[in-house]
Chain A
Amino acid sequence: MNARLDSFSYDDDIVRKFLWATMIWGLVGMLFGLIVALQLTMPELNFAPYWTFGRLRPLHTNAVIFAFAGNAFFCGAYYSTQRLLKTRMWSDGLSKVHFWGWQAIIVAAAITLPLGFTQSKEYAELEWPIDIAIAVVWVAFAVNYFVTLTKRRERHIYVAIWFYIASIITVALLHIFNNLSVPAGAFKSYSIYAGVQDAFMQWWYGHNAVAFFLTTPFLGLMYYFMPKAADRPVFSYKLSILHFWSLVFLYIWAGPHHLHYTALPDWASTLGMLFSVMLWMPSWGGMVNGLLTLRGAWHKVTEDPILKFFVVAVTAYGMSTFEGPMLSIKSVNALAHYTDWIIAHVHTGALGWNGFLTFGMVYWLAPRLFQTEMFSKKLMEWHFWLATFGILLYVVAIYSAGATQGLMWRAFDETGRLQYPDFVETVMRLMPMYWVRVIGGTLYITGMLIGIYNLYKTWATRPATYEVPVVQAAPLNPVYAADHAPATGGFWTRFTDMGWHRRWEGMPLFFSVMTAVAVIVASLFEIIPTFLIKSNVPTLASVKPYTPLELAGRNIYQREGCFNCHSQMIRPLMYETERYGDYSKPGESVYEHPFLWGSRRIGPDLARLGGKYPDLWHVRHMYRPREVVQQSIMPAYPHLQTKVIDFVAIQKSVDAMAMIGVPYGDAVNKAPEMARAQAAQVAASVEAAGGPAGLADKEIVALTAYLQRLGRDLKNATAGTGAQPATAPPAKAAVPAAPGGSH
């Protein structure tokens, strides 16, 4: 040991900033959750263009994930990292850049999403300028973090730091590679990937956003704040090691389980499932280490609301990480996919795990950061119980909704017909459960408001100036000295002794490289075959690029967030093809930049919508959905009948698509003319059918043209000259028999 001691202090100012940001954005994100939940029960609460479900739902998810959970991670990471490494953050300036940059990104998201700027990839909706800003801010955070690691005064890095490192590295990778796109304007871009590949990349990203933004950072927080709050040692160091590495390596593979039964090749889907199943125990390692850390401290749980929050958080984590592997099993997924089951699953995770861990952490931090007593323990208890009942109401209702709708979709009656062929009937059945969700969400938000009030009152009694304690620690000895006697014996003994890992913990940069290798190798095992194996996506000669007008319509479809409620991916399952037509083929998506397969059917699938209804039907339906489909909960989009198509921008869209390899031919030079000509045709058909006149330059015409195109390429190919579009097996077209003469 060195005789000389360094004197230094921690930067708690940045932690206080992140703490407030966590709570304020958390409230905003949850309020938007409540708003979109209400919109599903009362479609009149949609006010086009800026205030519709399709535009606000991404605002809710982004705010909760990146603003609430993100700021919570940063808050806890800045607090714990400095103390675990016995050093101040390397650069206060970069910490500030991180804080203010992140908040600016959130504000930009809150403005651009209601404006309809979206890449339409879930949790990666933000358009390219904001994506670049995210990358820059993240790099600032990473640089600050890794330099701080080298400045540490603690030889070994604690398990919390491992999880932070894995999060920082992997999120950067995921973000950059999923968001590669070609701009077609200041706030419009097209993913460089198409169809199957884009879907794969998106769910590689999407699933690992759950892993490395909502799981590993919070495991890191758990490993610091839970033993602190319980004042108990961590249950098992060996378990930490094993579950960290297995989690980091296995998680990366699991993404394709979001695409079971889609046009993604079977092998990828199977890998996604098997790795998800193997992920069960690595995930539970965190739960076990968390709950068993409380051994000998359970009596404290009854008295301490902070520990209560932690216990429920870890339990919710255990439930959702059991459910995740279960949902990844193909046959279970066939029922749950596209339903509210998935919504319930993520809310167990988000409200229970992320929310409660954050609240426990914030309440533990508040008196320390504000250097005063917590204003009210009673209000903490109120927060806990309101939020707990809120979660219960929410998830029980939404699990029921998911199972109900999934079972209704697949039900056949005794004559071999779909029992509920009318989609809207399966939606109406969910309404009582949707109302229970609204009540549950309201309880949760009420708890949040109480929490913010309690924190505010605590903050109000802070000292005039914060005391900045001076800490002393010896600098790091440049020569590595092992703190455990190295194990002797055979390879296996030495391996299980984990002395080698102890050494890794003394070399954080090496440790980081190994973590990066684990996630990159696992990724490449799936990414390379997905892109290189030709048979993954058999080409279909009949599939042609969208016309310029249809492409403009597709832009509108993206802008209005239609993909939030409508899938475009019919699975090869009997009840799906009965309802929607032939299942979707990989080759149909080759020009889909980005893919728009969707993940939830609040409305019906649209993959074979083209030609199902006349043009006028779409015009009227968009204008006032409930005049056409009684009980529909779709928002009305009247502005599409007045808003003029930006014909000049169509050229930019076509050019961007051409740049990423879509064979546009002539349209590269004359997209606006082609679009005008087609628009005139569609408008004429609408007028001839008795619809409104003068729509030839209005957005509704572009959207209609797009919707009428969906699924047509394959129909045209299989129908040949056909007067009979071959969506159904011919046997189904027979005149219905009088069943058994009983009628």
Chain B
Amino acid sequence: MADNDKLLDHAYDGIQEFDNPLPTWWKWIFYATILVVPIYYWDPMGIGVGPGKEKAYKQQMAAFNAAHPKTAGAYTDDQIAAFAGDPAKVEAGKAVYTRHCVACHRPDGGGQIGPNLTDDFWIHGGRPTEIMKTVVEGVLAKGMPPWGKMLKSDEVEGVVGYVQTLHGTNPANPKAPEGAKYPADSAAAPAATPQTKGM
């Protein structure tokens, strides 16, 4: 059938060409893609150009935040202290610690880039809620990342529980104490109310 096509009467180094018209489907799809331009700018049902990337982003963020309200319920010191006594939580927390924390705090918690986690001294406070806050929000100025973005809440609970179990383990070659002393009796009496403000 191809041989019924009309040949053009020229040849280049023996190559000939047919005088075939443009394939119809080819032509119509080409027109259709050109038609995309006005439709895109017309933007029916929001399928086109839209409000621009920055506005669209702000709208998305607003919708997302509305759909995921940050419930305000915070932990109490007692609740957090109890994580240290929950073996399942501590086990899970140890895995998180090994994965994310050892690079700076050493596997035994003795501290390297980050501070020693086993002694009585805390740079950002040793109360359970303060430890939790440091883990969740991070201390960017000191290089502690905000792990609340990286970890799910049960992972945060676990790792905070595990860190509390490191207290008093006395590893070899610890980093020198930094920060303020948190009362030595705190481990025994975790229900501490703000009793030692200045210390």
Contacts and interface: CB of A to CB of B under 8 A. Distances in A.
A578 interface: yes
B148 interface: yes
Contact of B53 (A240, A242, A572): A572
Nearest to A224: B15
B57 A574 contact: yes
Given A236-B18, A274-B37, A731-B70, A617 B143 contact: yes
B23 A239 contact: yes
Interface residues of B, number: 74
A738 B29 CA distance: 55
A737 B74 contact: yes
Interface residues of A, number: 82
Contacts of A274: 36-37, 40
A83 B57 CA distance: 57
A483 B74 CA distance: 88
A303 interface: no
Contacts of A418: 149-150
A282 B51 CA distance: 30
Contacts of B29: 280-281
B60 A574 contact: yes
B149 A728 contact: yes
A690 to B, nearest CB: 6
Contacts of A733: 136-137, 146, 148
B143 A234 contact: no
A689 to B, nearest CB: 6
A735 B17 contact: no
Given A236-B21, A628-B103, A281 B26 contact: yes
A156 B11 CA distance: 10
Interface string B172-191: 00010000000000000000
A80 B136 CA distance: 68
Interface string B18-48: 1111110010011001101100100000000
B141 interface: yes
B166 interface: no
A737 B149 contact: no
A583 B57 contact: yes
Contacts of A158: 12-13, 15
Interface stretch (A363-371, A409-417, A457-465): A409-417
Contacts of A86: 13
A237 interface: yes
B156 interface: yes
A734 B133 CA distance: 8
Nearest to A297: B2
Contacts of A480: none
A377 to B, nearest CB: 23
B123 interface: no
A739 B70 CA distance: 10
Contacts of A738: 73, 75, 79, 153
Given A630-B99, A736-B136, A277 B57 contact: no
A233 B16 contact: yes
A239 B22 contact: yes
A731 B140 contact: no
A743 interface: yes
Contacts of A296: 1-3
Contacts of A237: 8, 17-20
Interface in A546-587: 571-574, 577-579, 583
Contacts of B141: 611, 723, 725
Interface of B: 1-3, 5, 7-10, 12-23, 26, 29-30, 33-34, 36-37, 40, 49, 52-54, 56-57, 60-61, 64-65, 67-68, 70-75, 79, 99-100, 103-104, 112-113, 129, 132-133, 136-137, 140-143, 145-146, 148-154, 156-157, 175
Given A234-B18, A689-B113, A690-B175, 12 more contacts: A237-B20, A239-B26, A269-B53, A281-B29, A296-B3, A416-B67, A421-B149, A583-B57, A612-B143, A614-B142, A735-B136, A737-B70
29 contacts: A156-B12, A158-B13, A224-B15, A228-B13, A232-B2, A235-B18, A236-B18, A236-B23, A261-B53, A278-B34, A288-B26, A295-B1, A325-B33, A421-B150, A483-B9, A484-B9, A612-B143, A614-B142, A617-B143, A630-B99, A689-B113, A690-B175, A723-B141, A725-B140, A725-B141, A727-B140, A731-B70, A734-B74, A735-B75
